[in-house]
Amino acid sequence: MTVLGIDIGGSGIKGAPVDVGRGMLADERLRIATPQPSRPEAVARVVAEIAQHFAWQGAIGCTFPAVIKHGIAFSAANVDRAWIGTDGERLLEEATQCPVRLINDADAAGLAEMRFGAGRRRKGVVIILTLGTGIGSAVFTDGQLVPNTEFGHMEVRGKDAEHRASDLVRKDKELRWKKWAGRINEFLARMEALFSPDLFIIGGGVSKKHEKFFPHLQARADILPAELRNEAGIIGAALAAGELAGRERRV
């Protein structure tokens, strides 16, 4: 089965049809810059453009960097605040004329990693962290997602963890890998104190450079780099929408 996966981020919106049985892109992905400001209608137009590019007529899964409950955005940390309270699923269904499932970006990446990547066959408590502009989190217990955790906003030294340890902060402050890893370690220690996970999976674009900072990471739990890298969001979004396939859009 093929589902269109779209990953909506602060700087780019990327999409590709995904073979959900194999967890692989079924076509070359298309990336369009995120409109600025990233207001809901402007983003919806880009999502529709991506669907049109693939002449898409089936289910679509979309990630979004915010708390998403029943299709509605409840937060907007790195995107336009007009998203708060917006029924994103409905908006994107109207724009694309397809059934749409909207899911938090880190939750989507986590679904993909648990099914096809570093979390395959891992039981117990697994925490996936995506280090990018912000820090996203996804928690699994025996393979089951606990959606909408927002560990990037956990306070460390009086600041949101993502304002100390995201990849954006590393770049902006020109932190050395070891120093940045120290900040990640503080964050991991805080999560260990509260959740005692068995495994941390570290994702986000920077995970492809894992050999630079993994040697400095420390935790009681195992720590693994994500395997699906930049494609985890697209694949996870498609997985989340798989159950919509064959269903009519709601509006």
Kindly list the residues in this chain that would bind ligand BGC in the complex (CB under 6 A).
65-67, 75, 77-78, 104-106, 130, 132, 134, 136, 150, 152, 162
242: tokens are 């798989």
Cα→Cα distances 156→90, 138, 153, 164, 218, Å: 36, 19, 9, 8, 17
- Report the residue number, 86 or 104, with the smaller CB distance to ligand BGC: 104
CB of 7 to ligand BGC, least distance (A): 10
Edge-to-edge strand ranges of the sheet holding 222-225:
144-146, 135-141, 125-131, 199-203, 222-225
- Report the residue number, 2 or 104, with the smaller CB distance to ligand BGC: 104
CB of 57 to ligand BGC, least distance (A): 29
CB of 40 to ligand BGC, least distance (A): 16
- Report the residue number, 61 or 136, with the smaller CB distance to ligand BGC: 136
Question: Kindly report the CA angle at 15 between 239 and 152, in degrees rounded to 5?
Answer: 70
- Report the residue number, 106 or 223, with the smaller CB distance to ligand BGC: 106
Confirm if 8 and 27 have CB atoms less than 8 A apart.
no
Strand partners, 16: 5
The DSSP secondary structure of 118-178, one letter per residue, reads TTTT--SEEEEEEESSSEEEEEEETTEEETT--GGGSEETTEETHHHHSHHHHHHTT--HH
CB of 225 to ligand BGC, least distance (A): 17
CB of 52 to ligand BGC, least distance (A): 26
CB of 204 to ligand BGC, least distance (A): 8
Amino acid at 137: S
- Report the residue number, 36 or 218, with the smaller CB distance to ligand BGC: 36
Integer Cα distance of 97 and 33 in angstroms: 22
Q: Which of 20, 21, 17, 23 is nearest to 5 (CA)?
A: 17
- Report the residue number, 136 or 197, with the smaller CB distance to ligand BGC: 136
